[in-house]
Amino acid sequence: MAFLDIRHLQKSFGALRVVQDFTLGIEKGEFVSFLGPSGCGKTTVLRMVAGFETPTSGAVSIDGHDITGLPANRRKIGMVFQAYALFPNLTVADNIGFGLRVAGQGKAEIARRVGEMLELIGLPQLGSRYPFQLSGGQQQRVALARALAPRPQVLLLDEPLSALDAKIRVSLREEIRRIQRDLGITTIFVTHDQEEALSMSDRVVVMHQGIADQVGTPFEIYNRPATRFVAEFVGTLN
């Protein structure tokens, strides 16, 4: 069984089935992208892994433990959203320490961990700033630090770069991968941007209407698209 094991997940909203029989195993430390057009079900799969959405059927397990029935706050999962998800009335340091405080960690341990996280994201001087005093790219680094501070087993990134300027997006791609590799954290990255998925990932899952059309390395996806949809979406067919 893979470290993060997603098995036969399905999700319907009323009569609308948005995820159909989604099965995927992700190895420890692997960086996997879910790539596909808006509305294909990427976020819904991610939200079921996070515990924000209950599957209609199927199961999710981490490190051999079935977490399908666990509420989100009892899963060891960190999540970063598109943008603007920091607490505006808390400093950067308090944002990063938020999950640790909720978990009842002591002040000294929180301060130590926040310091480590600020170093990790390359913003050691900015702990006392407020989110509105940061650029969009800096805010997303802080969101990443906040997600990682409690040492989650799995990191979920939902279009974390899409609200940023093109230039910052490219530099943050590399930054995210560096941090992810440093920590060896198992990661799912949701994006509709094929270049982002192909340049960043160990493997890519191309999704289409609630189904994983193809799972493969960026090389396989680009050079040997399994369906016409994949070929069109990754841009090898026009």
| Strand-by-strand arrangement of the 65-66 sheet | 16-26, 4-13, 57-62, 65-66
Q: Which is nearer to ligand ADP, 92 or 221 (CB)?
A: 221
The residues of the shown chain that bind ligand ADP, judged by CB under 6 A, are 13, 18, 36, 38-44
User: Encoding tokens for residue 216?
Assistant: 């493969």
Q: Which is nearer to ligand ADP, 27 or 232 (CB)?
A: 232
Q: Which is nearer to ligand ADP, 57 or 133 (CB)?
A: 57
Q: Which is nearer to ligand ADP, 13 or 87 (CB)?
A: 13
Q: Which is nearer to ligand ADP, 13 or 219 (CB)?
A: 13
Q: Which is nearer to ligand ADP, 223 or 227 (CB)?
A: 227
Q: Residue 233 carries which side chain, given as an amino acid letter?
A: F
Quick count: other Cβ atoms within 10 Å of Cβ 145? 27
- Spell out the alpha helix ranges (H) of 85-217: 92-102, 107-120, 136-148, 166-183, 194-200
For 221-226, which contacts have Cβ atoms below 8 Å and span 24 or more sequence positions?
222/198
| Strand-by-strand arrangement of the 31-35 sheet | 77-80, 154-158, 186-191, 31-35, 203-208, 211-216
Q: Residue 81 carries which side chain, given as an amino acid letter?
A: F
On whether the CB atoms of residues 28 and 65 are closer than 8 A, the answer is no
> Please, what is the minimum distance in Å from the beta carbon of residue 91 to ligand ADP?
31
> Please, what is the minimum distance in Å from the beta carbon of residue 34 to ligand ADP?
8
On whether the CB atoms of residues 82 and 158 are closer than 8 A, the answer is yes
